[in-house]
Amino acid sequence: MKFRVDEISSVITEEIRQYRSRVDVAEVGRVLELGDGIARVYGLSKAMAGELLEFENGARGQVFNLEEGSVGVVILGDYLGIKEGDEVRRTGELLSVPCGDAVIGRVVDPLGRPLDGKGIIETPDRRPLEFKAPGIAERQPVNEPLQTGIKAIDAMIPIGRGQRELIIGDRKTGKTAIAIDTIINQKGGDVLCFYVAIGQKESTVVAVVDKLRECGAMDYTVVISASASDPAPLQYIAPYAGAAMAEYFMYSHGQATLCIYDDLTKQAHAYRQLSLLLRRPPGREAYPGDVFYLHSRLLERSCKVREEYAIVAKDAPADLRDRSKVLRHPQGLKAPKEHRPDDEAGLFHRPHGKHRADAWLSSLSDKAKYRVHRFRDTGGSMTALPIIETLEGEVSAYIPTNVISITDGQIYLEPDLFFAGVRPAVNVGISVSRVGGNAQRKAMKKVAGSLRLDLAAYRELEAFAQLGTELDPATQRQLDRGARMVELLKQPQYAPFPMADQVISLFAGAKGYLDDLPVAKIRDFENGLRKHVHDEFPEIQEELTKKGELTDELAGKLSKIIENYKAQFMNKS
Amino acid sequence: MPNFDDQDLSLAKVYASSMMALAKERGEEDPLGEELAALAAMLDSDPTIVEYLSSPTVNEDRRRELLEKMFRGRASDLLVDSLQVLNRNGRLGLVAAVEHAYHAMFEEWRGRVEVSVRAAAPLSPPQQARLREVIKKKTGKEADLMLELDTGLIGGLVVQIGDQKLDASVRRKLETIAMALSERASRELQQVGRYVDGAAV
């Protein structure tokens, strides 16, 4: 190995040449007290709340408390190298993280520093950690599904793009498993995933990253990790860092993103630790008074951004963002209702606006010269899957009730179901998705409707099943159907089902084709049917995926296929 | 560097501002400041007096009598009256903080500011005068220079006015250039192939 001395010395010469001698002006303070990851700094009278400060040893801190003669600082990073009396300087900046394409596929800490040993993250774009959630006018109702690939969820508790759905349960009930399966299911789709690991064991995070890499999910996922050995301030800001990175894609590129916060209970613990050390008054369970705000401001940032449409020239580029190049209605906001734009710039908002734009376009005499254009930096979304760990199933504890009231629904995981073999251990009876059917495709809505009824009836009658008494045929039928549907909803880990496959499985169950099969054979039947349709009739899956509708014709075709396959299956066994 | 409790500081400011207002009425700002400084020095040298004065077990009347005996006639009426008010409110433990707050307000009012100057070599009187001139122009205040020698700076000056620190020392400039070089180096190392033959890129 030979060093190219000329190249190296030319770089050094250039740097020295570019150096401009300046007086270094900074506002400084001195460390009064230090310990447990927080510091009190004397001076800095002009420091602002939430500002970033820099210590002598390069560590950074965030201003937390502003007091009469001193400032309470939370240290983000190594506080072991800081001494009392050290100088602290203002940076004048708010805490921000790098974002952009450079972070995709990486494992980073909440400040954007790489943890995967693959080099510095070079990107010109940064976003502040704290960001005001969009108001009502900037949003749009959630109307597109986010497929998790998990039958129980996509059928009964469907999640939409822009929704916040809480995953709540005791330890070891499969909360993270649901999150990972959802990420894996986005392969081949257009959703960017952000997995924020808060306060977890590093070995667990390594296992997760490994699994994601194995399934090819790291190509569209970012992992942000503040593990259990990281200082409390990093665990506190980790979810906000994830949200900030996702927001970049949501606002600048109109992309759909998914943020998983695993888990917010540990973030609340870290925040409690910081607040108590900084002498903020403790409230219930020793949490500070603003622990609700801690989670509400994070989760409110998840939304569906409103889509903006306009009429543009037919040959305008597909990625046109210049709002001045649109065709405006001559009557502006006074145009007739069916053609009226939504703002002074002549733009149309939300899907309803698109209908109006379409209507206006078709009414134009020279319509062939134009087209309806959706601005690519609008219509993005951030779906949030926060995870909360309960103790002994206590969902009415402080933090769980807080987060339940913030999110748009909950997925309850119960240890009893888990140990009874129902995995994913989702209690579909009390789990809820407040967006519900709006985020489901028509085909799924059809088969899920009867599934819900079957399971509800089954739950009512479950007690009788245990008694083992003689039951009337109707009750027995309900029990049999219910037991088979429960079996159908079981699913192995890391094996997400595409929507079409889910529809086919649930259709078979809903139409009663499984009622005379032994429960133990249901899984084999399902797998076999899936493979059969995939191999022999791929057009069925294609049609379902593309149109999302289960027409009567398609249903008829499917019924025949299932009957034939069933005959085969019964003969073999 | 003073290490007063934040709560004490805000309370002390309240008393100091009233004392200042009264002193201005009577034209006694300077003497009061000096008296307070002397009092603070005395209390600093003998902590038992402070303990006695701030102890809740000592009767308020007893303390009042003691204060009268100790100070009436020897210190200005304004100071003794202020001490009695502090005593009545049980705040005699704040005297040191009050002195500190008063001093800060006084300097502020006088348009004076303490400037800490560290230099690698002693500043000549014309240089000090020039520095005072520049500070007067920039801040409108009279500079009270606290000079310190620090050969570690190699050359140049470090001037601190309140929270603002202006570092024009040679050491700082060398540090800046070292940082720039190492940042550049770590970026260039990403393309190690440009600089080393036979290295894997």
Average pLDDT value for residue range A198-210: 97
Domain membership of residue A361 (yes or no) is: yes
Confidence of residue A426 (pLDDT cuts 50, 70, 90): very high
- Closest approach of B191 to chain A, Cα-based (Å): 11
Average per-residue pLDDT for chain A: 92
A38 and A71 in contact (C-beta within 8 Å)? no
Indicate whether A552 and A459 sit together in one domain. yes
- Closest approach of B69 to chain A, Cα-based (Å): 35
Indicate whether A291 and A339 sit together in one domain. no
Q: Chain A partners of B198 at a C-beta cutoff of 8 Å?
A: 1-2
A276 and A410 in contact (C-beta within 8 Å)? no
- The residue type of A565 is Y
Say how far residue A156 (Cα) sits from the centre of its chain. 19
Which tokens go with B115?
Answer: 């400037």
Average pLDDT value for residue range A162-175: 96
**B31, containing H or E segment:** helix B29-45
Q: What is the DSSP letter of A471?
A: -
Domain membership of residue A127 (yes or no) is: no
- Nearest CB to A7 within list B176, B187, B194: B194
Indicate whether A386 and A455 sit together in one domain. no
- Closest approach of B28 to chain A, Cα-based (Å): 28
Q: Does B165 touch chain A (CB under 8 A)?
A: yes
Contact criterion met (CB < 8 Å) for A24 and B166:
yes
Q: Chain B partners of A24 at a C-beta cutoff of 8 Å?
A: 166-168, 172, 176
Q: What is the DSSP letter of B2?
A: -
Indicate whether A427 and A551 sit together in one domain. no
Contact criterion met (CB < 8 Å) for A12 and B1:
no
- Nearest CB to A28 within list B7, B165, B187: B165
Contact criterion met (CB < 8 Å) for A1 and B187:
no
Indicate whether A322 and A353 sit together in one domain. yes
Q: Is the dihedral of CA B99, B104, B108, B111 positive or negative?
A: positive
For residue A453, pLDDT beyond 90: no
For residue A573, pLDDT beyond 80: no
- The residue type of A285 is E
Contact criterion met (CB < 8 Å) for A28 and B163:
yes
Cα–Cα distance for residue pair A410/A178, rounded to 1 Å: 13
Q: Chain A partners of B174 at a C-beta cutoff of 8 Å?
A: none
Domain count, chain A: 4
Residue found by looking up tokens 């009788």 in the block: A464
Q: Does B160 touch chain A (CB under 8 A)?
A: yes
Contact criterion met (CB < 8 Å) for B195 and A28:
no
Domain membership of residue A13 (yes or no) is: no
Q: Does B200 touch chain A (CB under 8 A)?
A: no
Confidence of residue B1 (pLDDT cuts 50, 70, 90): very low
Tens digit of pLDDT for each residue in A293-309?
A: 999 999 999 999 999 99
Q: Does B191 touch chain A (CB under 8 A)?
A: no
Confidence of residue A461 (pLDDT cuts 50, 70, 90): confident
Q: Does B6 touch chain A (CB under 8 A)?
A: yes
| Highest mean pLDDT, choosing among A158-167, B79-88, B173-182, B185-194 | A158-167
Average pLDDT value for residue range B148-171: 90
Cα–Cα distance for residue pair A30/A49, rounded to 1 Å: 18
Domain count, chain B: 2
Mutate to test the interface with B, among A28, A32, A123 (most CBs of B within 10 A): A28
Mutate to test the interface with A, among B17, B139, B163, B194 (most CBs of A within 10 A): B163
- Closest chain A residue by Cα to residue B191: A119
**Residue B90, domain CATH:** 1.10.520.20
- Closest approach of A235 to chain B, Cα-based (Å): 28
Looking at residue B199, its pLDDT comes to 60
Q: What is the DSSP letter of A114?
A: B
Q: Which of B51, B74, B108 is the last residue of a domain?
A: B108
For residue A556, pLDDT beyond 50: yes
Write out A75-105 in H/E/C secondary structure.
EECCCCCCCCCCEEEEEEEECEEECCHHHCC
Extended strands (E) in chain B: 112-119, 142-149, 157-161, 164-167, 196-197
Looking at residue B3, its pLDDT comes to 67
Average pLDDT value for residue range A505-525: 92
Contact criterion met (CB < 8 Å) for A26 and B165:
yes
Cα–Cα distance for residue pair A26/A90, rounded to 1 Å: 7
Domain membership of residue B185 (yes or no) is: no
- Strand-pairing partners, residue A25, are B166
B11 and B91 in contact (C-beta within 8 Å)? yes
Domain membership of residue B79 (yes or no) is: yes
Indicate whether A272 and A397 sit together in one domain. yes
Which tokens go with B184?
Answer: 């550049």
Indicate whether B122 and B49 sit together in one domain. no
- Closest chain B residue by Cα to residue A118: B190
Indicate whether B33 and B119 sit together in one domain. no
Indicate whether A418 and A469 sit together in one domain. no
Indicate whether B56 and B138 sit together in one domain. no
Indicate whether A171 and A67 sit together in one domain. no
Catalytic, out of A434, A459, A477, A523: A434
Looking at residue B2, its pLDDT comes to 58
Cα–Cα distance for residue pair A52/A549, rounded to 1 Å: 53
Indicate whether B146 and B63 sit together in one domain. no
Q: What is the DSSP letter of A228?
A: T
- The residue type of A69 is G
Q: Does B9 touch chain A (CB under 8 A)?
A: yes
Average pLDDT value for residue range B73-83: 88
B15 and B23 in contact (C-beta within 8 Å)? no
Least confident of A16-20, A296-300, A390-394, B115-119: A16-20
For residue B200, pLDDT beyond 70: no
Domain membership of residue A1 (yes or no) is: no
Q: Chain A partners of B185 at a C-beta cutoff of 8 Å?
A: 11
A505 and A544 in contact (C-beta within 8 Å)? no
Q: Chain B partners of A10 at a C-beta cutoff of 8 Å?
A: none
Indicate whether A244 and A387 sit together in one domain. yes
Q: Chain B partners of A26 at a C-beta cutoff of 8 Å?
A: 164-165, 167
- Nearest CB to A68 within list B9, B163, B168: B9
Contact criterion met (CB < 8 Å) for B165 and A27:
yes
For residue B187, pLDDT beyond 50: yes
Full domain range(s) for residue A172: 101-115+144-304+380-437
Indicate whether B103 and B121 sit together in one domain. no
Indicate whether B98 and B14 sit together in one domain. yes
Q: Chain A partners of B7 at a C-beta cutoff of 8 Å?
A: 68
A339 vs B196 pLDDT, higher one: A339
Indicate whether B165 and B97 sit together in one domain. no
- Closest approach of A53 to chain B, Cα-based (Å): 14
Beta-carbon-side half-sphere exposure of residue A104 (alpha carbons within 13 Å): 14
Average pLDDT value for residue range A466-489: 86
For B178, phi and psi rounded to 5 degrees? Answer: -65, -40
- Closest chain B residue by Cα to residue A21: B173
Domain membership of residue B191 (yes or no) is: no
Which tokens go with A473?
Answer: 């045929």
Which tokens go with B151?
Answer: 């050969």
pTM: 0.87
Say how far residue A265 (Cα) sits from the centre of its chain. 17
How does DSSP assign A528-571, residue by residue? HHHHHHHHH-HHHHHHHHHH----HHHHHHHHHHHHHHHHHHHH
Indicate whether A191 and A68 sit together in one domain. no
Indicate whether A190 and A208 sit together in one domain. yes
Tens digit of pLDDT for each residue in A248-277?
A: 999 999 999 999 999 999 999 999 999 999
Indicate whether B11 and B100 sit together in one domain. yes
Indicate whether B101 and B141 sit together in one domain. no
For residue B14, pLDDT beyond 70: yes
**Residue A542, domain CATH:** 1.20.150.20
- A368, burial (CB in 10 Å: exposed 0-12, middle 13-18, buried 19+): exposed
Cα–Cα distance for residue pair B52/B66, rounded to 1 Å: 11
Cα–Cα distance for residue pair A373/A353, rounded to 1 Å: 12
Nearest-Å Rg of the Cα atoms of chain A is 28
Q: Which of B108, B130, B153 is the last residue of a domain?
A: B108
Indicate whether A260 and A204 sit together in one domain. yes
Q: Chain A partners of B10 at a C-beta cutoff of 8 Å?
A: 68
Domain membership of residue B28 (yes or no) is: yes
Cα–Cα distance for residue pair A377/A463, rounded to 1 Å: 54
Cα–Cα distance for residue pair B156/B118, rounded to 1 Å: 9
Q: Chain A partners of B180 at a C-beta cutoff of 8 Å?
A: 15, 19
A400 and A411 in contact (C-beta within 8 Å)? no
Indicate whether B22 and B44 sit together in one domain. yes
A126 in catalytic set? no
- The residue type of A313 is A
Which tokens go with A268?
Answer: 């609340």
Indicate whether B31 and B102 sit together in one domain. yes
A412 vs B95 pLDDT, higher one: A412
B15-21: long-range pairs with CB below 8 Å, 24+: B15/B82, B15/B85, B15/B86, B15/B91, B15/B94, B15/B98, B15/B101, B16/B98, B16/B101, B16/B102, B16/B105, B17/B101, B17/B105, B18/B82, B19/B78, B19/B82, B19/B98, B19/B102, B20/B102, B20/B105, B20/B106, B20/B109
For residue B161, pLDDT beyond 60: yes
Q: Is the peptide bond before A424 cis (omega within 30 degrees of 0)?
A: yes
Least confident of A93-107, A308-322, B148-162, B177-191: B177-191
**A277, containing H or E segment:** helix A264-277
Q: Give the ipTM.
A: 0.74
Domain membership of residue B97 (yes or no) is: yes
Contact criterion met (CB < 8 Å) for A15 and B198:
no
- Provide the terminal-to-terminal Cα distance of chain B, rounded to the nearest Å: 53
User: How many residues comprise chain A?
Assistant: 573
Domain membership of residue A136 (yes or no) is: no
Cα–Cα distance for residue pair A178/A180, rounded to 1 Å: 6
Confidence of residue B162 (pLDDT cuts 50, 70, 90): confident
Contact criterion met (CB < 8 Å) for B163 and A30:
no
A179 vs A438 pLDDT, higher one: A179
Extended strands (E) in B120-201: 142-149, 157-161, 164-167, 196-197
**Residue A74, domain CATH:** 2.40.30.20
Contacts of A423 (CB under 8 A, 6+ apart): A174, A417, A490, A491, A492, A493
Least confident of A71-80, A268-277, B177-186: B177-186
Indicate whether B61 and B141 sit together in one domain. no
Q: Helix, strand or coil for residue A248?
A: helix
Beta-carbon-side half-sphere exposure of residue A172 (alpha carbons within 13 Å): 4
Write out A339-398 in H/E/C secondary structure.
HCCCCCCCCEEHHHHHHHHHHHHHHCCCHHHEEEEECCCCCCEEEEEEEEECCCCCCCCH
- Closest chain B residue by Cα to residue A8: B195
Looking at residue A460, its pLDDT comes to 82
Domain membership of residue B1 (yes or no) is: no
Full domain range(s) for residue B76: 6-108
- Nearest CB to A1 within list B160, B168, B196: B196
Tens digit of pLDDT for each residue in A399-412?
A: 999 999 999 999 99
Q: What percent of chain A has pLDDT over 70?
A: 100
Q: Helix, strand or coil for residue A264?
A: helix
Cα–Cα distance for residue pair B88/B91, rounded to 1 Å: 8
